[in-house]
Structure 1
Amino acid sequence: MEGDCINYAKRCHKCQIHGDKIHVPPLPLHVMTSPWPFSMWGMDVIRPISPKALNRHRFIFVIIDYFTKWVEATSYASVTKSAVSRFLKKEIICRYRMPERIISDNALNLNNSMIAEIVGKMAETYKDWHEKLPFALYVYQTSIRTSTGATTISLVYGMEAILPIEIEIPSLRVLSKLKLDETEWI
């Protein structure tokens, strides 16, 4: 009986038009490559965050370098052309260089799920999430990216960041860099 139902659904024109499209293969991903660091950036605006921050900010503007995956971000009450251009001049052009390309999909409130997830954990109950945004970026920049196999800090600065916890608690990385054994560290 199950086979009869399957055969009927395969031959039914309406079933084929309105049927579940799960078995349609996904479109292939188009890899965005950049020839050198800071030459190509992607821009995004994260959807309105609730609750609003104490400074009334609701949006996060995010820009990511395609070569190193380095992220810069800031929060805004409303995202305007003048605010974005001021951010690009001050935080990107003056720090890194004039980008060859900046990629955006021209939407007003877009979703960068990774940063939104990090900020979402901070903004669940607190209205001071805008003050925690630099810490979220630090976590992102000191985490190993699976696409590159390295942290964005190491790709940008050529060395790993010493995490604040490693100063207080000895880690193998700090011990090996300082060429100390455990007894000398303590």
Structure 2
Amino acid sequence: MTWYTLLVLVVAVERLAELVVARRNAVRARARDGVEHGRGHYPVMVVLHTGLLAGCLLEPLLADRPFLPALGWPALALTLLAQALRWWCITTLGPYWNTRVIVVPGARLVGAGPYRFLRHPNYVAVVVEGAALPLVHSAWITATVFTLADAVLLTVRIRCENAALTTHAVPA
């Protein structure tokens, strides 16, 4: 399971890199009178995503989950595709991307990159990764619990984000 542990740790480091980018972008957005929405659900999101990574490490170990190639390899491919989509979103939004919902009044909605096809493509990456990463090493309980909890969280998050963008942003 060493390679899987390394994979989860690489994803954790990637998440830390996201937080660095998000903090830098939050400072910039606030300097431009950015308005934050949804502060109440943010700590829940942090706990949920931390729990995903912990579950990915603990469930295969504690429940003696095997690596099943027919499940693990496709799940790994989906995990990697989710990472690529996430960074496509981050680079497309540039200074507007954030882990928080901070909208700069008068900023134009982005209609480039993956946003040409979907309003919230980053959440597609979150859903795919949340299901696929645990399944790389047969952690089906973690995949199921995260997916169900994340569905509730994303319902709140997307409503919050849509309301914030409707209130403050200018259509593309």
Q: What TM-score, normalized by structure 2, do the two folds share?
A: 0.26
| TM-score, length of structure 1 as denominator length | 0.24
Name whichever structure is richer in strand by fraction.
Answer: 1
**Which has the bigger relative contact order, CA under 8 A and spacing at least 6?**
2
